[in-house]
Structures are given as structure tokens and as C-alpha cells.
Structure 1
Amino acid sequence: MKIIDVKVEVIHIPMKKPFRIAFAVQDHSVNVLVKVMTDEGIYGIGEAAPFEPVTGENSATVLEVLKLFKQGLIGMDPMNIEGIHLMMDRLISGNTSAKAAIDIALYDLKGKVMNQPLYKVLGGYRDQIVTDMTIGIDKPELMAQEAKERVERDGFRILKVKAGINPADDIRALTLIREAVGPDIRLRVDANQGYTVNDAVRVLKEFEKIGVDAVEQCLPWWDMDGSKILRQKVDMQIMLDESIHSPVDAAKACKMDAADILNIKLMKCGGLYPAEKINAIAEANHVNCMVGCMLETKVAIAAGVSLVAAKSNITEADCDSFMYAVDPEMGMPGGFTIEGGVYTLSQKPGLGLDLDF
């Protein structure tokens, strides 16, 4: 089997409302779909969801890089996933969402060749997973109202609350959210690099009283030393996200005892192949993982939830972003069903999506 063509399509994803985190506000996303085609008529679909503050890319750069990759891919065996990653890494450093798009398409194709759903190709541990729902930064009262709706109307049992701009507002928002949703809903916080070490220690002590499970990326991405200090100062799980792009980053964080949980994102690390490496490194060091997401369609979300379902060491999921879109399905039926935060994965081959272009 040989790759004979690579097609791309740019998609614009308007959101239901602007989504605010510590360092950005988004009201839409511009992503790139990829179709890797073979001489046997089997194809795979992938997606790039670039985000400049994290991956250093946008849709225009992704398109240029995919042109470069296409030259190298033509004639290659799509099952040679390691060889294709080596080719992409030799051609250009970084550009991880572009690499993830090719990677996801290759795994979709592999599942189709094997006639197995992707979660079984990757490990097959379970066919259901639970995701959280994210509450963006807003006035604390509005955040509490949204949290209550997500729990009572939509059935979510885990909420991830964005923070990191104003510590006093963060404490008030979490206090109001806890009051609104009650004691049985799990809460975690994502500060998106918004705190200093001193601020983080002070704020996290207050979060302890509120019953927050975990806090994600309190400090700038480069400050793993500070993250280690936080683990020693507070009684909750410390998660790293923007600090973890590669298996090398994961090894460094584990060696330094800088995290209890690592947040794997396919767009940060370059796809499922390096994501499996990150999880293996974490597992060998008794560190659990979560799979998160950028603003993605069901293509990349299906890949992410398949990885969660495949691995026992990946204990958490933050794979909710497609639900922020005005049209979450976007003409992409299949892949999974979701009810109250519980994903049930498709048993169809590959990503399980009924999608072609």
C-alpha cells in the first residue's frame, strides 16, 4: 500500500459565544482537515487545530507545511507511521498541529485496514470514557450560572474552570460554583500560566477549602521548578499542560517530580504516535495523564477520546471543545455518542466517522 495523494480543506468554526482564558479570547477557530489517500482506495481523515499562543501556528502556516509534507508522503507506506514522523521532523521542527493532522489520518487509515475501531488499535482498554465540561472566564456570578446549567441541564459531573487573570475573582468564582453545583461535582481549575508561585500557593490554599481536585498549569510553561514547589506546598493534584509538548518534556517533568498529572494534547505533541510515548513515560514514573484538546471538530476529538479509551493510565479527559461550536456535528456523523459527559465510542473502523471530501 502506498500514499498517492494528500488533500486539504480549510474549515471555519464559529462558536456559540466567545471563550476566554487567561491569555486569549476566541470566538471562532480556523482548522484544516486532511485526507491521506492510498493506491488501494482506502483513505484516512485527520485535522489540524492550530493555536498560535501554544503551537505557534495558524491555518496559513499549516497549509504551507502540509504542502511540504505531501512531497515526502507520496509513495510512502501509510503503515510506516514512525518513518513518516521521522520524515516530518527532519523537514521542519515544531508545527505540531500540522503533524497531528497527518498522524490522525494515518491512524484512521490503519484502523480501516485492520477493520478495527481506533481505540482498539491503540490498546482497547474500554469503550466508554468521561469528559469534563469547561467553564470559560466571565463574571463570577455568570460562571456559577453556567456551571449550574452544565450540571443540571446537561448532566456533566466534572467541571474544569478557567482562571488566572485575577486571583480574587478566581476564588469568588470557584466559591460560587461550588455553592451552585453542590459537594458531589468534581471541580478542577486551569490557570493557563496566569499565576506566580506566591499567588498560586495563596490561591490554591483557598481552592483546597472549596474542594478543588486539581489545578492545571498555574505557572509559565518554563517554570517546572515552581511547579515542583507547588506540589510540596498544597494538598491537591498539580497538572502540567503548556509545559508538556514532547516526550522529552514529559521525561523532564517526571524526573523533577513537577506534576501529578500530564495533560496530553494531540495538537501540542504532534499526534497519537508521540502522545503514546508521553503516556508511557508518565506511566513508568507513576504519573497519570489526561487528554485535552484545542478548539477541534469531531475528527480530532474522536482521535483524542480513542486514546483515552485505549490506555488505563489516562484517567481523565478534557475533550469537550467541539460542543462550543454553533454546529457541533458539522456534518460529521459517527465517531462516538455523548450523554452527560460520558462518551461511548463507535465500533466502526478507524475514527468511526462518516466523512469524506
Structure 2
Amino acid sequence: MSDLEITAVEAIPYSIPYRKPLRFASGEVSHAEHVLIRVHTRGGLVGTADAPPRPFTYGETQAGVIAVIESIFAPQIVGVDADRRDVMRKRLHRTVGNPVAKAAIDMAIWDVLGQAWSMPVHRLLGGFTDKLRVSHMLGFDTPEAMVAEANKMRDVYGISTFKVKVGRRPIDADVEVVRALRQTLGDKAELYMDGNRGWSPSEAARALEQLSDCGLTLAEELCPADDVLGRRWLVNHCSVPFIADESVTTPAEVTRELLGGSATAISIKTARSGFSGSEEILHLATGLGVEVVMGNQIDGQLGTACTVAFGAAHEATSGRAGELSNFLDMSDDLLTEPLEIIDGCLTAPTGPGIGVTVDPDKLAHYRTDN
């Protein structure tokens, strides 16, 4: 018997309110209703990761994540050594979908391996650097409120890159917001847009034309990938990299969107592809010569620690600011030592594995299964 043999997988639901709801074209989030995943080994190591269900994006719910892990995934990997990652991935992928549940198990296993080998995950994955510049995501609100939030993030945390949620109809409100942000923040701030599939291709083209003098650097999922011909037309006329996000949850989808002309850049989210799947997507994207950005699943600090670990590990993902700050909108968190954004950057935890510890008292307080 090996000390790395997996003996149990826990799926613990919890709920932490946000200070204010984050609103965007495909939905609204007022609570972090996530599932904490723990992978236990015979030698006593416990790997931990977070599963943030997004029913309006991937169809997963909190109850669904727990059910698929307890009834299907845990029985498939209990008894397997944690370093046999491809064996476990093959077994998990017998079940279609469920990207967030699979990703959390994968990252918890990497956490186990980092602890076993006394090395931070960002070093195991590549170790290119140990930090990322931070991009802050601004949800729907009035121009005044969104400008005030951006100013606070710049003044308090040194953040100078902002992802602006757009996709409202008519487009005028979002155009006004972007213009107000550019006027207030000046030319040194980086701004890019994320439509969460909210516009039609023609609406998105009109918004891009009206904002052509605002120096936007990226455009993300402005219209649905299912609008196949319209999306290709829009991307062909877009003067900045067009990021595929919700439409690229697997390497196969990345290939389809890029080779089909429906995207020219890729958002990588460890919350939906884990560390192993994210590596496959990264290598595919860089092999095809397209840019990547580390995305945000409205993560808490545990999920953010995973994102910065992967992003810092590789040259391609560390070149742009990663979306790493929305845990600041939560009223509380589970970690014993909170992450800190200093001078616009977030440093990957230095402890073995993912390098963070869940506070048992906070987990007991916020878990919803007891």
C-alpha cells in the first residue's frame, strides 16, 4: 500500500455572501455557494480545492457537484495513487460535462502531490515566476459606481487593469460606462470588455465602433459562439484579440473556436479545467500562436490561489494581468491567512501544494450541510 493512495473524497457545500451582488449579462451572483473538495490519502495528506458551480454558464449546481462526486467520481478514484493523474483523469472523463467538479478534484490531487514532494504547485507546474499583475472585474452598475470602484482598486491595491462587464441592451449604458472609466482613469489604465454572450454580433460591432477611440485591449464573448456565422464575421472585423471564454471549456472546444475563426485569444480558468486541463489548453493555444489570459470564476481566495499558481507557473499566462481580485467583494473567506494584493500584484503562496489552509471554524460556520 502506498501513502499516496486516495482513501476518500469529501464534498462540502458552503455559502458566503458578497458585499454586493456582481451582475453581468448571463446572470447575477450574490453568494459564493461553492463546494469545498478534500482528497484524503492513506499517508494522512489532504488536498483541498474549490468548486464554484455556475448553472447559468456550465449547468452545474451546488447539489449537482456534490452528487456527481459522491456517487460517481469518488468511487472511481478511491484506491488509486495520487501520482497516477492520467489514470484518474481517464476515469473521470467517462462522465461527460461536470467541468467544475472534475477541475476541483484535479487541483486537490495536485495539492496532495505538492505536499508530498514539499514543493509549491506553481513550481511543480513550471515555476516561471511567483506573481501576477492583477486585473479587477467590474460588474454592471451605474457609471458613477463603476468609476468609484475602479478608483478604489487603483488607490488601495495599485490595480491598473480592469475588465468591464458589458452586454446590456441597449448598448448605450455600457458605452457610457467605458467612456467614463477611460476619462477618469486616463491612458495608463488598461481596459477590456466582457459581454458574457449578451449582445448580437451587430450590437457588439456597433459598440466596438463607438468605443474605437477608448484604447480597449481585448474583447471577450461579446456574442454567443452559437451565432456561428455572425460570430466569425464579428471576430474578423474586431481590431483587438477576441477572447473565447465560456465557449472553450475543453481543448477540443479551443481547437474548434480558433480554427473556425470564432476567437483569436483564450481565457484559461483553473476552476473549470483544473491544472491538468489548463496545461493542455495552454499548450494548444501557444502552439497555435494565440494569446491567453487567466480568467476568474468569481472565485474566493482558495480558487484565486489556484489561478495565480497556474498563471505564475508559465511564461504565456504571466504576460497579462490575471483576473484575481474578486474575492475582495466577499464579506468573508475560508482561509487562515488571507491573500494580499500589493502594488497591483498577487504573489503565489509559498507553502507546499497550493500553499493555503482552510480555517476549520470558518468552514464550520459557513457550511450548509449541518
Q: TM-score, normalised by structure 1?
A: 0.94
Following the alignment from structure 2 to structure 1, what is the Cα–Cα distance between the partners of residues 14 and 326?
Answer: 15
Give the 4+ runs in structure 1 shifted more than 6 A.
none
Percent identity (aligned) = 27
- Measure, in 2, the Cα distance between the counterparts of 1:265 and 1:224: 23
Determine the C-alpha separation between the residues in 2 that align with 1:246 and 1:320.
Answer: 25
Q: Is the contact made by 1:133 and 1:341 (CA closer than 8 Å) also made in structure 2? A: no
Aligned ranges 1:1-150 → 2 under 5 Å: 1-67=4-70, 68-90=72-94, 92-150=95-153
Shift of 1:224: 5.0
The equivalent residue for 1:178 is: 182
Partner of 2:212: helix, strand, or coil?
helix
Aligned residue in 2 for 1:308:
311
| Cα displacement string for residues 153-204 of structure 1 (whole angstroms, at most 9, x for unaligned residues) | 3321101111101311111111111111111100011111011111111111
1:326 corresponds to 2:331: yes
* Contact 1:55–1:268, Cα closer than 8 Å, also in 2: no
- Unaligned 5+ residue runs, structure 1? none
Q: Is the contact made by 1:145 and 1:180 (CA closer than 8 Å) also made in structure 2?
A: no
Shift of 1:338: 1.9
Cα deviations across residues 282-320 of structure 1 (Å, max 9, x unaligned)?
A: 000001211212132222211111110111122331122
CA distance change for structure 1 residues 227 and 125 in 2, over 3 Å: closer, same or farther?
farther
CA distance in 1, matches of 2:173, 2:251: 35
> Cα distance, 1:225 vs. partner?
4.1
Q: Structure 2 matches for 1:170-249, cutoff 5 A? A: 170-223=174-227, 225-249=229-253
What per-residue deviation string (whole Å, max 9, x for no partner) do you get for residues 41-79 of structure 1? 112111110010112111101110110211112111111
| Distance in 2 of aligned mates of 1:337 and 1:224 | 41
* Preserved contact between residue 129 and residue 342 of structure 1 (Cα < 8 Å): yes
After TM superposition, the structure 1 stretch with the greater mean CA deviation from structure 2, 152-161 or 50-59, is 152-161
State the one-letter code of the partner of 1:268: R
- Displacement of 1:356 in angstroms is 6.7
Partners of 2:157 and 2:76 in 1: CA distance:
45
**How far apart in 2 are the matches of 1:264 and 1:134?**
15
Q: Describe the SS at the equivalent of 2:14.
A: strand
Distance 1:14 1:300 in 2: 16
C-alpha distance in 2, partners of 1:223/1:131? 32
Alignment of 1:277 with 2:303, yes or no, is: no
Does residue 288 of the first structure (1) align with residue 295 of the second (2)? no
Aligned partner of residue 209 in structure 1, secondary structure:
coil
CA distance in 1, matches of 2:328, 2:133: 15
Name the CA shift for 1:295/1:96 in 2 (closer, same or farther; >3 Å).
same
Letter in 2 for 1:11: Y
Distance in 1 of aligned mates of 2:296 and 2:89: 21
| Contact map agreement 2:25 2:166 (CA 8 A) in 1 | yes
Q: Which moved more, 1:11-20 or 1:140-149?
A: 140-149
CA–CA separation in structure 2 for the residues paired with 1:355 and 1:28:
19
* Displacement of 1:354: 2.3
- Determine if contact 2:236/2:261 at 8 Å carries over to the other structure: no
Tell me the secondary structure at the aligned position of residue 56 of structure 2: helix
Alignment CA distance shift 1:356-1:103 (3 Å): farther
Bigger mean CA offset, 222-231 vs 317-326: 222-231
Q: 1 CA distance for matches of 2:172 and 2:288?
A: 35
Aligned-pair CA distance for 1:2:
0.7
- Secondary structure at the aligned position of 2:109 is classed as helix
SS of residue matched to 2:213? helix
1:244 CA drift (Å)? 0.7
